[in-house]
Amino acid sequence: MSRTISRFSRLIIACSMFTGFILSSQPTRAAGTGAQDIPTIHAILTSPPNVPPPTHRSSPAKVIVELEVVEKEMAISEGVKYMFWTFGGTVPGSFIRVRQGDTVEFHLKNNPGNKMPHNIDLHGVTGPGGGAASSFTAPGHESQFTFKALNEGIFVYHCATAPVGMHIANGMYGMILVEPPKGLTPVDHEYYVMQGDFYTSGKYREKGLQPFDMEKAIDERPSYVLFNGAEGSLTGEKALTAKTDQKIRIFIGNGGPNLVSSFHIIGTIFDKVRYEGGSNFQKNVQTTLIPSGGAAVVEFKTPVPGSYVMVDHSIFRAFNKGALAILKVDGPAKKDIYSGKELDSVYLGDRAQANLGAVSIASKAAEQGTLTIQDQINAGAQLFAGTCSVCHQTNGAGLPGVFPPLAGSTFLNANPQRAIGILLHGLTGKINVNGNEFDSVMPSMSQLNDDEVANILTYVLNSWNNKGARISASDVKAERAKSVTAAPAGH
Ligand SMILES: [Cu+2]
């Protein structure tokens, strides 16, 4: 689970491992720089969620930054691909760390395999365009410009090549930290997280390679709102980690292009927030606002172990567009502070799973035309856990008088195909299940795609003494095609 670090910094790490140094770059004397003979240093760049080590310097240096723009296809969600444009091969781009007073010699390279010209506007630069005009670079070329880091703070950088919104929407943003002269106070963990909104022509989680949708972007109707560029980039095995009582610092940015983030970590209170990335801080904060093209530094620790869910508290974005990440804190229970009984699954939904392995196996098999009923059942089991079990319970038994049982359900087994309509349109009114009357409301689950509905129902129909039918994605498609205004399944 080693996280990828840019080629350049891997080299540095390799060197420092051999020489036994901690991660820090080797200063050399700059030849002939005139009056000020300051050391020249190659910046260590890291991929998210990693942050380069502190500069540990008490005086300014000349810092060389080499950043390569790479256009590449990556997963934006399970079974969903997107052509990202990146600074350093990741979304967000490589993290840069310098010190106030440093002179930064910036090299922007545009990979020869790329199709588009790009440039960079760093919000930490004082000068027109933040570097944009001087860094405009065609594929296969390299630009160089130099700036002095006058102000300390955490700053967003982004591409500013027309159409600017499209370059940012495709993932072209990252952050540069300009340390104050005395550095930041030491902590146990520093992490790098950035939110972004994404506009695919398909709906949320619609499978396959999804093109960018300019109209949705202009209308500010994202299909995804994500931390670190992909759904699940910070959950399961990739969750951020810490131990109880450790000090955690997160550099949290927002690339936009459109949305403002209401950043919150469920179950923690930020001890300190450097709001808007500035030099003042606020104490004891629940939710902090991160403007588009802005950032904050949040610091906290937690004495209580468990999974902490990071969200954009504009909450549909978290549960229906992907803006959800996990911080896993290990350590002994602290019953005096919190009694226990974790409710992760309620918050996480289908993301509570470490990864949706069975779901991706099923979606690959469906693409290749080799989908078996067992693939569907496995995938359906994972999806049921997050989508249906809150009401119908993990064992399908339901709750008396409130949620009808799916286990051995006379209602379900009498007409399995009818259940497709129930999932797509919801169900209200009196029904009789296993001799008991229910008169309640099931909300529409129409956010599920055709494969998901088919797999969930196939799982349900083949579990808990149900009679074993199989539902296909084309059955669901046909049902969805019928007018949505048609009455839901009859009782
Ligand atoms: Cu660009």
Ligand 1 centroid distance, CA of 118 (Å): 4
Joined tokens for residue 456: 């969930």
Q: What Rg value do the Cα atoms of the chain yield, rounded? A: 25
pLDDT for the residue numbered 483: 56
- pLDDT per residue as tens digits for the range 133-146: 889 999 999 999 99
- Structure tokens given for 228: 């670190």
Arithmetic mean of pLDDT over the chain: 88
Q: Which one, of 119, 103, 135, 91, lies nearest residue 39 by Cα?
A: 103
pLDDT > 70? residue 417: yes
For ligand 1, the distance from its centroid to the CA atom of residue 12, given in whole angstroms, is: 27
Distance from residue 152's CA to the centre of ligand 1 (Å): 26
Q: Is 309 exposed, middle or buried (0-12, 13-18, 19+ CB in 10 A)?
A: buried
Tell how far the Cα of 69 is from the centroid of ligand 1, in angstroms: 8
Ligand 1 midpoint to CA 88 (Å): 12
pLDDT band at 436 (very low <50, low <70, confident <90, very high): very high
What's the 256 CA to ligand 1 centre distance in angstroms? 14
Q: H or E segment at 436?
A: strand 436-442
User: What sign does the dihedral 21-25-29-31 (CA atoms) show?
Assistant: positive
More confident residue, 10 or 205: 205
**Cα-to-centroid distance, 140 and ligand 1 (Å):** 14
CA–centroid distance, residue 159 to ligand 1 (Å): 5
310: CA distance to ligand 1 center in Å?
28
> What average pLDDT does range 438-459 have in this prediction?
90
Lowest pLDDT segment from 11-20, 125-134, 469-478: 11-20
CA distance 322 to 189: 24
Ligand 1 centroid–CA 165 distance in Å is: 9
Q: What is the Å distance from ligand 1's center to 85 Cα?
A: 7
CA–centroid distance, 184 to ligand 1, in Å, is 31
From the CA of 172, how far away is ligand 1's center (Å)?
6
Distance from residue 366's CA to the centre of ligand 1 (Å): 35
Residue found by looking up tokens 């470490």 in the block: 354
Is pLDDT at 92 greater than 50 in this prediction? yes
d(CA 293, CA 256): 6
Whole-angstrom Cα distance, residue 345 to residue 322? 15
CA of 415 to the centre of ligand 1 (A): 53
Helix (H, G, I), strand (E, B) or coil at 324: strand
Q: Which region among 59-63, 128-132, 178-182, 441-445 has the lowest average model confidence (pLDDT)?
A: 441-445
Evaluate if residue 488 carries a pLDDT over 60.
Answer: no
169 Cα–ligand 1 center, Å: 10
Contacts of 385 (CB under 8 A, 6+ apart): 345, 350, 352, 353, 394
Distance in Å, CA 245 to ligand 1 centroid = 41
- Residue 373's nearest CA partner among 385, 362, 389, 387 is 362
- Is the pLDDT at 375 greater than 60? The verdict is yes
Asked whether the predicted pLDDT for residue 15 surpasses 50, the reply is no
Compute, in angstroms, the gap from residue 122 CA to the centroid of ligand 1: 13
d(CA 369, CA 363): 10
Higher per-residue pLDDT: 357 or 67: 67
CA of 113 to the centre of ligand 1 (A): 14
Q: Which pLDDT band holds residue 419 (cuts at 50, 70, 90)? A: very high
Q: Can you give the pLDDT at residue 23? A: 35
pLDDT at residue number 13: 37
pLDDT of residue 333: 83
Range name among 193-197, 303-307, 360-364, 437-441 with the lowest pLDDT average: 360-364
Cβ–Cβ < 8 Å for 116, 70: no
Calculate mean pLDDT across residues 359-384.
89
- How far apart CA 243 and CA 237 sit, in angstroms, is 16
Q: What are the φ and ψ backbone dihedral angles of 88, each rounded to 5 degrees?
A: 90, 10
Measured in angstroms, how far is the CA atom of residue 274 from the centroid of ligand 1?
29
Distance 325 CA to ligand 1 centre (A): 26
Q: How far lies 110's CA from each of 104, 159, 242, in Å?
A: 19, 12, 36
pLDDT above 60 (res 157): yes
Span from the CA of 428 to the centroid of ligand 1 (angstroms): 50
pLDDT score of 234 more than 70: yes
d(CA 299, CA 327): 13
pLDDT at 348 over 80: no
- How far is ligand 1, taken at its centre, from the CA of residue 301, in Å? 37
> How far, in Å, is the centroid of ligand 1 from the Cα of 303?
43
> Looking at the predicted structure, is the pLDDT value of residue 24 above 80?
no
Torsions phi, psi of 130, nearest 5? Answer: 60, 25
23-30 — which CB contacts under 8 Å span 24+ positions?
Answer: 23/52, 23/53, 24/53, 24/55, 24/56, 27/61, 30/62
Q: pLDDT band at 421, cuts 50/70/90?
A: very high
Parallel, antiparallel, or unpaired for β 39-42 and 62-77? parallel
pLDDT at 30: 44
Q: Which helix (H) or strand (E) holds 467?
A: none
pLDDT, mean of residues 39-46: 96
Task: Please tell me the distance between residue 17's alpha carbon and the centre of ligand 1 in angstroms.
Answer: 35
Ligand 1 centroid to residue 145 C-alpha, Å: 17
Judge whether residue 8 has pLDDT over 60.
Answer: no
Q: Which range scores top for mean pLDDT: 26-30, 44-48, 334-338?
A: 44-48
Separation of 120 CA from ligand 1 center, angstroms? 8
**Given a cut of 60, is residue 96 above it in pLDDT?**
yes
**pLDDT for the residue 367:** 85
Pairing of strands 62-77, 103-110: parallel
Tell which residue, 396, 338, 357, 380, has the closest CA to residue 473.
Answer: 380
pLDDT tens-digit profile of 98-107?
999 999 999 9
119: CA distance to ligand 1 center in Å? Answer: 6
CB count in 10 Å sphere of residue 434: 13
Look at residue 261 and give its three-state secondary structure: strand
351 pLDDT above the threshold of 70: no
Distance 98 CA to ligand 1 centre (A): 23
Distance in Å, CA 255 to ligand 1 centroid: 13
19 confidence band (pLDDT: 50, 70, 90): very low
pLDDT (0 to 100) of residue 228: 98
For residue 356, the model assigns a pLDDT of: 65
Output the CA angle 437-438-439, nearest 5 degrees: 125
Q: Worst-scoring range by mean pLDDT, 30-39, 124-133, 370-379, 411-420?
A: 30-39
Tell me which of 364 and 52 has the higher pLDDT: 52
Mean pLDDT of 46-71: 97
Q: Are 138 and 110 in contact (CB under 8 A)?
A: yes
Ligand 1 centroid–CA 82 distance in Å is 15
Cis peptide bond N-terminal to 257, omega within 30: yes
Ligand 1 centroid distance, CA of 160 (Å): 6
